Amino acid sequence: MTVTVSASGLTLRYGGTVALDDVALRLEEGITGLLGPNGAGKTTLLRVLATAVPADRGAFTVLGHDPGTAAGRLAVRRTLGYLPQNPGFHPDFTAFAFVDYVAILKELTDRAARHREVRRVLAEVDLADVRGRRIKRLSGGMRQRVALAAALVGDPRFLVLDEPTAGLDPEQRMRFRELITRTGEGRTVLLSTHQTEDVAMLCHRVIVMAGGHVRFEGTPAELTARAAGRVWSSAERDPGARAGWRTGAGAFRNVGDPPEGADLLEPTLEDGYLLTLDDTGAQAVTR
Amino acid sequence: MSGDTNPRQTWHLAEEDLRAYDRGELAPPLLWSADAHLAGCAECRVRLAGLADPAVLDAGWARLDAELDAPRPSLLERLLLRCGVADHTARLLAATPVLRRSWLLAVTAVLVMTVAASDALRQADSPTLFLALAPLLPLAGVALAYGPVCDPAYEMAVVAPLHGFRLVLVRTVAVLAVGLGMNGLATLALPGYGLRALAWLLPALALTATGLALTPRLGAVLAPALTGGGWIALLAVAATGRHGDATLPPFTAAGQGAAAAVAALAVVLLVHLRDRFDFAADRTAPTGGPYGGTP
pLDDT attached to residue B125: 64
Q: Does position A77 have pLDDT exceeding 80, yes or no?
A: yes
Q: How far is A158 from chain B (nearest CA, A)?
A: 13
DSSP state of A190: E
Predicted pLDDT at B2? 44
pLDDT of residue A214 exceeding 90, the answer is yes
Q: Is the pLDDT of residue A108 over 50?
A: yes
| Residues in chain B within 8 Å Cβ distance of A91 | 152, 291
What is the average pLDDT value for chain A, to the nearest integer? 91
Domain A1-79+158-172+182-218 CATH class label:
alpha beta
What pLDDT does A282 receive? Answer: 55
From the list B167, B283, B293, which residue is nearest A88 (CB)?
B293
> Residue A272: is its pLDDT beyond 70?
yes
Nearest to A84 among B278, B286, B291 (CB): B286
Do the Cβ atoms of A132 and B286 come within 8 Å?
no
Decide if B77 touches A, using CB distance below 8 A: no
Characterise B212 by phi-psi region: left (phi > 0), alpha (psi -120 to 50), beta (else). alpha
Local confidence band at B288 (pLDDT 50, 70, 90 cut-offs) = very low
Interhelix angle B87-94/A111-124, nearest 10 degrees: 50
Rounded distance between C-alpha atoms, residue B194 and residue B182, angstroms: 17
**Residues linked to residue A234 through DSSP beta bridges, in sequence order:** A252
Chain B residue at shortest CA distance from A97: B71
Residues of B in contact with A41 (CB under 8 A): none
Using the beta-carbon criterion (under 8 Å), do B291 and A89 form an inter-chain contact? Answer: yes
Q: Do B290 and A14 touch (CB under 8 A)?
A: no
User: Could you say which of B86, B153, B283 has the minimum Cβ distance to residue A88?
Assistant: B153
Residue B229 touches chain A, beta carbons under 8 Å: no
Percent of chain A with pLDDT strictly greater than 70:
97
DSSP secondary structure letter of residue A94? B
Interface contact A88-B161, CB threshold 8 A: no
Q: What integer pLDDT is reported at residue A9 of this predicted model?
A: 97
Give the model's pLDDT for residue A6.
96
* Record: contact A102-B63, CB cut-off 8 A: no
Residue A83 confidence (pLDDT): 96
**Smallest Cα distance from A251 to chain B, Å:** 40
pLDDT digit string (tens) for B139-169? 988 888 878 878 888 999 999 999 989 999 9
Q: For residue B51, how far is the Cα from the chain centroid?
A: 44
pLDDT at B8 over 90: no
CA–CA gap between residue B28 and residue B39 (Å, rounded): 16
pLDDT tens per residue across span B195-252: 888 899 999 999 999 999 998 888 888 999 999 999 999 999 998 887 777 788 999 9
The pLDDT of residue B5? 59
The answer to whether residue A8 scores a pLDDT higher than 60 is yes
Q: Give the pLDDT score at A244.
A: 87
For chains A and B, count residue pairs whose Cβ atoms are closer than 8 Å: 137
pLDDT for B283 equals 57
State yes or no: pLDDT of B256 exceeds 70: yes
Once rounded to an integer, what is the mean pLDDT over residues A26-51? 95
Q: What is the pLDDT of residue B212?
A: 93
At A287 the pLDDT is 36
Q: Amino acid identity, residue B75?
A: L
Q: Which residues of B touch A89 (CB under 8 A)?
A: 152-153, 291-292
Per-residue pLDDT, B282? 65
Average pLDDT over residues B54-60: 69
Please tell me the predicted confidence (pLDDT) of residue B28: 76
**Residue of chain B minimizing CA distance to A131:** B69
- Per-residue pLDDT tens over the stretch B167-195: 999 989 888 888 888 888 888 888 877 78
Q: Which residues of B touch A43 (CB under 8 A)?
A: 285
ipTM for the predicted complex comes to 0.87
Q: Please say whether the beta carbons of B186 and B119 come within 8 A.
A: no
Distance between CA atoms of residues A155 and A186, nearest Å = 10
Distance CA(A123)–CA(A114), nearest Å, equals 14
Indicate if the pLDDT at residue B284 is higher than 70. Answer: no
Alpha-carbon torsion, ordered A155, A160, A166, A167, to 10 deg: -40
> How far away is chain B from the Cα of A26, in angstroms, using its nearest Cα?
21
Checking if the pLDDT of B19 tops 80, the result is: yes
Q: Which residues contact A27 (CB under 8 A, 6 or more apart)?
A: A3, A4, A5, A6, A158, A188, A190, A205
Q: What residue ranges do the domains of chain A occupy?
A: 1-79+158-172+182-218, 88-156, 224-279
Is B75 near chain A, with CB under 8 Å?
no
